[in-house]
């Protein structure tokens, strides 16, 4: 036991002296590039124009498989979001292909009706089993909080982690989710030659394990054109990532705005209290 | 105690300012904790409903839920309308608008009376919706809790209730369909 | 202090009437206004007040969240989302509560390490210390159950893994562990029934903590506060009245702490949590990498460092249990590490071990990580069971100041407060 420990200790020391990319077996950390976001850090706010474009990408490209069930159509109108005009969202809701199941009616039957402002933005599938059945067992996740449910892991050596952590805290970095979504949407590549890709799967550089059941939703030559006729794969990916970041955190604008007022108040009060404390303690020797 | 040259509790502008700042911060923190109990955004959004009136025959009434409250919708008979119309405003305990029967219904749809079915006394649900119910002395509704009588326009006539039954905001979106809220 | 003569004087006939019947104003005056606090306390001593704030803040925000939260397997996740999205200021109150749990532990760890550094557990403060460890245990239980409530993937699998620890008792008496786990779950797996009872207990435990805190403060007021020199209060000049001196210092400490607190609430609300907890609980899929909240990581590392199931569980609980015996494991004659030239190094080694265990607890339990977790786990226990008793016996402490006043004002400035002790006759604890 002691002998093995000693041997292990010497191995460990050797490993410690070399920069240590040896992470746990089986867990590969993929380098995800951080993007520039208008809502990033402690100052950023959502850009309504970007969220509107992002919603268009979601509507035309994602909504055929992915729901947004924890959002209601009314959220698309509220301040701090895409801020579409109420009337256009009303007609959007009325024409949304995935109807609301309501009832029971006077005959005791459930029935389907068009969505209203107060209704959730539903995906095409009634439940998980139906979705899995439609996609060979894979489940297209709901997008309501997807940007909060994803993040990025540091790939740098272990001794840098504490500094990365302090940097993230100081800059208010919370954009791991949209960074990941952008990397995923732009990460479809041809599989390396020695990569064993299963049938029906696609190769994705950002996805853990690199095998993803989702076919490329956007491509260099197949992307959503905006109202001004422009667009690109990267632009689409960026806008829809921003839209999903808003969907997961719709109070961000208000949160940061109030946050600054609170910080200012706390800083001033702390300084005042500190001076008052000095004044009081100056009455005795200390 | 440590050697003191001054009274430690002496008034001092700086100290009082600092204390006031801390107290104001504590007080303004109260608002979020109070406001959280108000109806949330989801409840606010469920403000309007549509009701199909076609199945309600003359003399019948239905009860629907709106914002968690019962709404009385009655298809009034000619006699009931006439009774309501001929009551002079002077006979009414509550003449705050809308008090006249014409003001309590939509023009051209005088047979349809839409009311919030909550007694203005202490919030009970008055009787009078089903045919077997007692409708009170004035043929409208009768609140069994403390004996308030409402007439065929939903106005208080007798008993402790201070106000007429409320008329919710509504409009006819088609001949037989109303939108409430 | 218990033998302190109250200096409270009712200012009006009404106050006098009240004081003769329920002397609550007198109690507050004696305990929090006139109470003698050592004049040399540093800002580490403000964490007691900060922790009281944290407890009250968690209770108030928790009370509010319970008005909107639905403790059922089907609705819990949705109701938290509704709080974040629809309830007026719901996002703020929920962030306050979630970040508040972390801040509570930041403060309690600083408080504990301060107690360890300055020997605040030594006689006559053993009961005070033990009550503190009990509060720490109750906090851990409360935080663990609270983390279950959002019913995300980390909630679900954290509950599964930690409740399964009890199944290690099957290694002692076959069947007992499984029976206990089934009883804890209220089913044959973690389910809505488990969530519901966790909610009930999560609501109860803070009030238990409140009771323990009252005892903790009571014990503090009987023994009096320790201070950076570790010396007892000997002269009147060693102390200042709590109000306004210590109260004002506490207020500065609290507001400085609130700056950090608010930074996380408003700008980094999810930084201290795990992304997987935004995925609704799914009993069919385990996340690839289960980690507890950061404040449990050192204990989680100890659990995984031991290659036997029962052994790991015993080590983890032992890591907390050993704290109960600290007052008797430390054989040093002086309290404060400031005057302990050898122990001081071991103290910082212990701090590094705890931080390292925290880092390792977040890493996968294989390869090099397990090795280091074992090294630091060994030191964690060795610190208490070997270093504390032995160093205390062999070490010669540095010369202590004769009194707190002398420590603050310098040796020549000693006024003695009328006691007039002759030089050299001070009861120097380092020679006791």
Residues C332 and C226 in one domain: no
Query: Predicted confidence band at C182 (pLDDT cuts at 50, 70, 90)?
Result: very high
Query: Would the CB atoms of C67 and B36 count as touching at under 8 Å?
Result: yes
Find chain A residues with C-beta within 8 A of B11's C-beta: none
Chains with 3+ CB–CB pairs under 8 A to B are A, C
- CB neighbours of C49 closer than 8 A, spacing ≥ 6? C250, C253, C254
Residues C381 and C303 in one domain: yes
How confident is the model over B137-149, as a mean pLDDT?
92
A120 pLDDT exceeds 90? yes
A153 Ramachandran zone, left/alpha/beta (phi>0; psi -120 to 50): beta
The whole-number pLDDT of residue C323 equals 97
How confident is the model over A182-190, as a mean pLDDT?
94
Q: Which residues on adjacent β-strands are paired with residue C36?
A: C241
CA distance B143 to B126: 4
Residues B111-126: tens digit of each pLDDT: 999 999 999 999 999 9
Residues C219 and C347 in one domain: no
Q: A39-62 in b/e burial notation, b at 16+ Cβ within 10 A?
A: bbebebebbbebbbbbbbbbbebb
| Domains assigned to chain A | 42-189+215-276 (1.10.760.10)
Residues C237 and C340 in one domain: no
Residues C246 and C370 in one domain: no
The whole-number pLDDT of residue A1 equals 43
Find chain B residues with C-beta within 8 A of C251's C-beta: 18, 22
* Mean pLDDT for all residues in chain B: 87
Find chain C residues with C-beta within 8 A of A268's C-beta: none
* Pick from A42, A277, A285: CB nearest C249: A277
* Pick from C89, C237, C245: CB nearest B35: C89
Residues C320-369: tens digit of each pLDDT: 999 999 999 999 999 999 999 999 999 999 999 999 999 999 988 888 99
List the Cα angle A175/C148/C260 in 5-degree steps. 45
B1 or A30, which is more confident: A30
The two three-digit tokens of residue C212, written as one number: 């323990």
* Pick from B3, B8, B36: CB nearest C237: B3
Instruction: Report the relative pairing of strands A202-203 and B156-158 from DSSP bridges.
Output: unpaired
CATH number, domain at C214? Answer: 1.20.810.10
The two three-digit tokens of residue C214, written as one number: 């009252």
Closest residue of chain A to C258, computed from CA coordinates? A266
CA A236 to chain CA mean position, Å: 15
Residues C65 and C205 in one domain: yes
Find chain A residues with C-beta within 8 A of C154's C-beta: none
Query: Would the CB atoms of C268 and A172 count as touching at under 8 Å?
Result: yes
Q: B3 to chain A, minimum CA–CA distance in Å? A: 6
Residues C75-86: tens digit of each pLDDT: 999 999 999 999
Q: C406 to chain B, minimum CA–CA distance in Å? A: 12
- Which position has the token pair 């007040």? C49
CA distance C430 to C398: 8
Give me the residues of C, 272-291, that contact A with CB < 8 A.
Answer: 275-276, 278-279, 288-289
Find chain C residues with C-beta within 8 A of B41's C-beta: 85-88
Given C268, C288, C322, which residue is the final one in a domain?
C268
Find chain B residues with C-beta within 8 A of C240's C-beta: 1-2
* Pick from A118, A266, A269: CB nearest B46: A118
The whole-number pLDDT of residue C418 equals 40
* Pick from B2, B22, B36: CB nearest C87: B36
C49 pLDDT exceeds 80? yes
Residues C249 and C300 in one domain: no
Find chain B residues with C-beta within 8 A of C415's C-beta: 3
Query: Would the CB atoms of A276 and B17 count as touching at under 8 Å?
Result: yes
Looking at the annotation, which residues of B are catalytic?
Answer: 146
CA B7 to chain CA mean position, Å: 60
* Pick from A265, A279, A283: CB nearest B4: A283
Residues C336 and C227 in one domain: no
Residues C302 and C259 in one domain: no
Q: Is residue C426 part of a domain?
A: no
The whole-number pLDDT of residue B50 equals 80
Query: Predicted confidence band at B9 (pLDDT cuts at 50, 70, 90)?
Result: low
Q: Is residue C6 part of a domain?
A: no
CA distance C427 to C432: 8
Task: Tell me what ipTM this predicted complex has.
Answer: 0.91
C419 pLDDT exceeds 50? no
* Mean pLDDT for all residues in chain A: 88
The whole-number pLDDT of residue B134 equals 86
Q: C174-188 in b/e burial notation, b at 16+ Cβ within 10 A?
A: eeebeeebeebbeee
Query: Predicted confidence band at B51 (pLDDT cuts at 50, 70, 90)?
Result: confident
Find chain B residues with C-beta within 8 A of A106's C-beta: 55
What are the DSSP calls for chain A, one per residue?
A: -HHHHHHHHHHHHHHHHS------TT-PPPP------TT-TTT----HHHHHHHHHHIIIIITTT--EEEEEGGGGTSTTTT---HHHHHHHHHT-SSPEEE---TTS--EEE---TTSEE--S-SSHHHHHHHTTT------TTHHHH------S-GGGHHHHHHHHHHHT---HHHHHHHHHHT-B-PPPTT--PPTT-EEBSSSTTSEESSPPSSBTTB----TTS---HHHHHHHHHHHHHHHH-TTHHHHHHHHHHHHHHHHHHHHHHHHHHHHHHTTS--
Q: Which residues on adjacent β-strands are paired with residue B171?
A: B179
Find chain C residues with C-beta within 8 A of A256's C-beta: 266-267
Q: Is residue C146 part of a domain?
A: yes
Residues A130-165: tens digit of each pLDDT: 999 988 888 999 999 999 999 888 888 888 989 999
The angle, 0 to 180 degrees and rounded to 10, between the axes of the packed helices C126-148 and C153-164 is: 130
How confident is the model over A260-285, as a mean pLDDT?
94
How confident is the model over B82-95, as a mean pLDDT?
86
Q: Is the Cβ of B30 closer than 8 Å to some Cβ of chain C?
A: no
CA distance C300 to A229: 55
Q: Is residue C340 part of a domain?
A: yes
Residues C227-260: tens digit of each pLDDT: 999 999 998 889 999 989 999 999 999 999 999 9
- CB neighbours of C155 closer than 8 A, spacing ≥ 6? C147, C148, C149, C277, C281
- Which position has the token pair 């023009």? B107
B108 pLDDT exceeds 50? yes
Q: Is the Cβ of C86 closer than 8 Å to some Cβ of chain B?
A: yes
Closest residue of chain A to B20, computed from CA coordinates? A269
Find chain C residues with C-beta within 8 A of B18's C-beta: 251
Domain that holds residue C365: 296-404
How confident is the model over B142-159, as a mean pLDDT?
92
For testing the chain B interface, which of A118, A264, A265, A266 should be mutated: the one with the most B CBs within 10 Å? A118
Are C212 and C134 a contacting pair, CB within 8 Å?
yes
How confident is the model over A197-213, as a mean pLDDT?
91
Q: Is the Cβ of A23 closer than 8 Å to some Cβ of chain B?
A: no
The whole-number pLDDT of residue B168 equals 92
Q: Is residue C7 part of a domain?
A: no
Q: Within 13 A of C255's CA, how many CA atoms are on the CB side? A: 27
For testing the chain A interface, which of B8, B13, B21, B64 should be mutated: the one with the most A CBs within 10 Å? B21
How confident is the model over C201-212, as a mean pLDDT?
98
Residues of B in CB contact (< 8 Å) with A are 2-6, 8, 10, 12, 14-15, 17-19, 21-22, 25, 41-42, 45-46, 55
Query: Would the CB atoms of A275 and B42 count as touching at under 8 Å?
Result: no
Chains with 3+ CB–CB pairs under 8 A to C are A, B
The whole-number pLDDT of residue C431 equals 52
For testing the chain C interface, which of B4, B10, B36, B38 should be mutated: the one with the most C CBs within 10 Å? B36
Cα distances (angstroms) measured from residue C306 to each of A216, B88, C159, C296: 45, 91, 21, 16
Q: Is the Cβ of C240 closer than 8 Å to some Cβ of chain B?
A: yes
Query: Would the CB atoms of C267 and A248 count as touching at under 8 Å?
Result: no
One-letter-per-residue 3-state SS of chain B: CCCCCCCCCCCCHHHHHHHHHHHHHHHHCHHHHHHCCCCCHHHHHCCCEEEECCCCCCCCEEEEEECCEEEEEEECCHHHHHHHHHCCHHHCCCCCCCCCHHHHCCCCCCCEEEEECCCCCCCCCCECCCCCCCCCCCEEEEECCCCEEEECCCCEEECCCCCCCCCCCEEEEECCEEEEC
A44 or B10, which is more confident: A44
How confident is the model over C370-396, as a mean pLDDT?
96
Residues C308 and C370 in one domain: yes
Q: Is residue C396 part of a domain?
A: yes
The two three-digit tokens of residue A275, written as one number: 């001076």
CATH number, domain at C387? Answer: 1.10.287
Q: For the CA atoms of chain A, what is the radius of gyration? A: 25
Query: Predicted confidence band at A200 (pLDDT cuts at 50, 70, 90)?
Result: confident
For testing the chain A interface, which of B10, B11, B14 should be mutated: the one with the most A CBs within 10 Å? B14
For testing the chain A interface, which of C83, C368, C373 should be mutated: the one with the most A CBs within 10 Å? C368
The whole-number pLDDT of residue B10 equals 63
Q: Provide the number of structural domains found in chain C.
A: 2
Q: Is the Cβ of B34 closer than 8 Å to some Cβ of chain C?
A: no
How confident is the model over B58-76, as a mean pLDDT?
90
Q: Is residue C413 part of a domain?
A: no
Is the entire prediction scored with pTM above 0.90?
no
The angle, 0 to 180 degrees and rounded to 10, between the axes of the packed helices C297-305 and C368-382 is: 100
Query: Would the CB atoms of A12 and C369 count as touching at under 8 Å?
Result: no
The whole-number pLDDT of residue B89 equals 85
Given C224, C251, C268, which residue is the final one in a domain?
C268
C53 or B109, which is more confident: C53
Q: Is residue C11 part of a domain?
A: no
Q: Is the Cβ of B40 closer than 8 Å to some Cβ of chain C?
A: yes
Query: Would the CB atoms of A27 and C369 count as touching at under 8 Å?
Result: no
Residues C78 and C216 in one domain: yes
Q: How many residues does chain B have?
A: 181
Provide φ and ψ at B65, rounded to 5°: -95, 135
The two three-digit tokens of residue B152, written as one number: 């065929």
Residues C262 and C121 in one domain: yes
Counting residues of chain C whose pLDDT is more than 90, the rounded percentage is 86
């Amino acid at each position: 036991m002691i002998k093995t420990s000693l041997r292990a200790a010497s191995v460990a020391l050797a490993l410690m002296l070399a920069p240590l990319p040896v992470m746990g077996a089986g867990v590969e950390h993929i380098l995800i590039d951080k993007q520039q976001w208008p809502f990033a850090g402690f100052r950023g706010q959502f850009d309504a124009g970007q969220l509107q474009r992002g919603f268009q990408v979601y509507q035309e490209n994602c909504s055929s498989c992915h729901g947004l069930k924890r959002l209601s159509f009314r959220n698309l109108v509220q301040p701090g979001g895409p801020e579409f005009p109420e009337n256009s969202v009303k007609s959007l809701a009325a024409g949304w292909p995935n109807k609301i199941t309501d009832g029971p009616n006077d005959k005791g039957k459930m029935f389907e009706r068009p969505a209203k402002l107060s209704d959730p933005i539903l995906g095409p599938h009634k439940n998980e089993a139906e979705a899995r059945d439609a996609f060979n067992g894979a489940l297209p996740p709901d997008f309501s909080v997807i940007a909060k449910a994803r993040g990025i892991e540091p790939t740098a050596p272990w001794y840098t982690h504490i500094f990365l952590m302090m940097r993230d805290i100081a800059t208010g970095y919370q954009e791991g989710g949209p960074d990941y979504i952008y990397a995923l949407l732009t990460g479809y590549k041809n599989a390396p030659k020695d990569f064993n890709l299963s049938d029906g799967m696609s190769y994705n550089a950002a996805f853990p394990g690199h095998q993803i059941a989702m076919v490329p939703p956007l491509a260099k030559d197949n992307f959503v054109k905006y109202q001004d006729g422009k667009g690109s794969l990267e632009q689409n990916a960026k806008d829809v990532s921003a839209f999903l970041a808003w969907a997961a955190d719709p109070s961000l604008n208000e949160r940061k705005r109030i946050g600054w007022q609170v910080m200012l108040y706390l800083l001033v009060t702390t300084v005042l209290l500190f001076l008052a404390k000095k004044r009081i303690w100056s009455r005795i020797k200390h | 105690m440590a050697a003191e040259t001054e009274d430690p509790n002496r008034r001092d502008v700086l100290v009082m300012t600092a204390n006031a700042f801390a107290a104001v911060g504590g007080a303004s923190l109260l608002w979020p904790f109070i406001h959280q109990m108000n109806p949330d955004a989801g409840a606010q959004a469920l403000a309007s409903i549509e009701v199909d009136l076609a199945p309600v025959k003359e003399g019948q009434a239905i009860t629907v839920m709106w914002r968690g409250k019962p709404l009385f919708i009655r298809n009034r008979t000619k006699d009931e309308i006439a009774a309501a119309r001929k009551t002079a405003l002077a006979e009414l305990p509550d003449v705050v608008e809308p008090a006249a029967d014409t003001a309590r219904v939509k023009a051209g749809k005088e047979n349809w009376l839409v009311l919030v079915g909550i007694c203005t006394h202490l919030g009970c649900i008055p009787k009078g919706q089903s045919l077997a119910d007692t409708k009170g002395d004035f043929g409208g509704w009768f609140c069994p809790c403390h004996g308030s009588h409402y007439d065929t326009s939903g106005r208080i006539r007798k008993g402790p209730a201070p106000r007429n039954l409320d008329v919710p905001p509504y409009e006819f979106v088609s001949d037989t369909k109303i939108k409430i809220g | 202090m218990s033998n302190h003569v109250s200096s409270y004087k009712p200012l009006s006939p009404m106050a006098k009437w009240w004081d003769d019947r329920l002397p609550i104003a007198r109690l507050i005056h004696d305990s929090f206004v006139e109470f003698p606090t050592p004049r040399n306390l540093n800002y580490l001593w403000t964490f007691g007040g900060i922790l009281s704030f944290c407890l009250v803040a968690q209770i108030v925000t928790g009370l509010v969240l319970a008005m909107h939260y639905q403790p059922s397997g089907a609705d819990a996740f949705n109701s938290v989302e509704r709080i974040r999205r629809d309830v007026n200021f719901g996002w703020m109150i929920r962030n306050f509560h979630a970040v508040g749990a972390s801040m509570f532990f930041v403060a309690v760890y600083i408080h504990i390490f301060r107690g360890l550094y300055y020997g605040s557990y030594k006689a006559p403060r053993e009961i005070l210390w033990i009550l503190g460890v009990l509060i720490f245990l109750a906090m851990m239980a409360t935080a663990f159950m609270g983390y279950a409530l959002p019913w995300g993937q980390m909630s679900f699998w954290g509950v599964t893994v930690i409740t399964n620890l009890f199944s290690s008792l099957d290694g002692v008496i076959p069947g007992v562990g499984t029976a206990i786990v089934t009883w804890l779950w209220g089913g044959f797996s973690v389910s809505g029934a488990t969530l519901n009872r966790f909610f009930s207990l999560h609501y109860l435990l803070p009030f238990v903590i409140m009771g323990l805190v009252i005892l903790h403060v009571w014990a503090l007021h009987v023994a009096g506060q320790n201070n950076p020199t570790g010396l007892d209060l000997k002269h009147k000049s060693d102390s200042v009245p709590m109000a306004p001196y210590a109260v004002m210092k506490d207020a500065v400490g609290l507001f400085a702490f609130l700056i950090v607190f608010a930074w996380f609430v408003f700008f980094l609300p999810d930084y201290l949590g795990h992304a997987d907890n935004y995925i609704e609980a799914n009993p069919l899929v385990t996340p690839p990498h289960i980690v507890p909240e950061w404040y449990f990581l050192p204990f989680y590392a100890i659990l995984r460092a031991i290659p036997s199931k029962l052994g790991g569980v015993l080590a983890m609980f032992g890591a907390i249990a050993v704290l109960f015996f600290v007052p008797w494991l430390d054989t040093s004659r002086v309290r404060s590490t400031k005057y302990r030239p050898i122990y001081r190094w071991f103290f910082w080694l212990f701090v590094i071990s705890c931080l390292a265990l925290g880092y390792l607890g977040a890493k996968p339990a294989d390869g090099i990580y397990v090795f280091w977790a074992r090294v630091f786990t060994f030191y964690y226990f060795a610190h208490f069971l070997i270093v504390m008793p032995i160093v205390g016996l062999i070490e010669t402490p540095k010369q202590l100041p004769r009194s707190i006043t002398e420590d603050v004002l310098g040796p020549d400035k000693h006024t003695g407060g009328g006691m007039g002790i002759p030089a050299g006759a001070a009861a120097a604890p380092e020679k006791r």
